[in-house]
Amino acid sequence: MNLDEIDPKKTAMIVVDMQNDFVASGAAMETPAAREIVPRLAEALRICRDAGIKIIYTAPPGWMRYGAIR
């Protein structure tokens, strides 16, 4: 990843819905593809932190994930 062209003051890394519900082995909503990207995501996050880029994590509230909204 080349950060020479990215202004850390104007940039954010947004991580969407990386929860144990999806990435933990044996979890109810386990998604192997999500688990497979964890090492690459961890490296990208390390690079962003080292460059001073803000990291934002998002996930819906639990009541949205389990069918309370129809």
Q: What is the pLDDT of residues 8-55, one digit of tens each?
A: 999 999 999 888 888 888 888 888 898 899 999 999 999 999 999 999
How far apart are alpha carbons 53 and 16 in whole angstroms? 16
CA nearest to 19, candidates 46, 41, 47: 41
Backbone φ, ψ for residue 59 (5° rounding): -165, 145
DSSP for the chain reads: ---TT--GGG-EEEEES--HHHHSTT-TT--HHHHHTHHHHHHHHHHHHHHT-EEEEE---HHHHTT---
Q: What is the pTM of this model?
A: 0.72
Structural domain spans, the chain: 8-65
Q: What is the pLDDT of residues 42-58, one digit of tens each?
A: 999 999 999 999 999 98
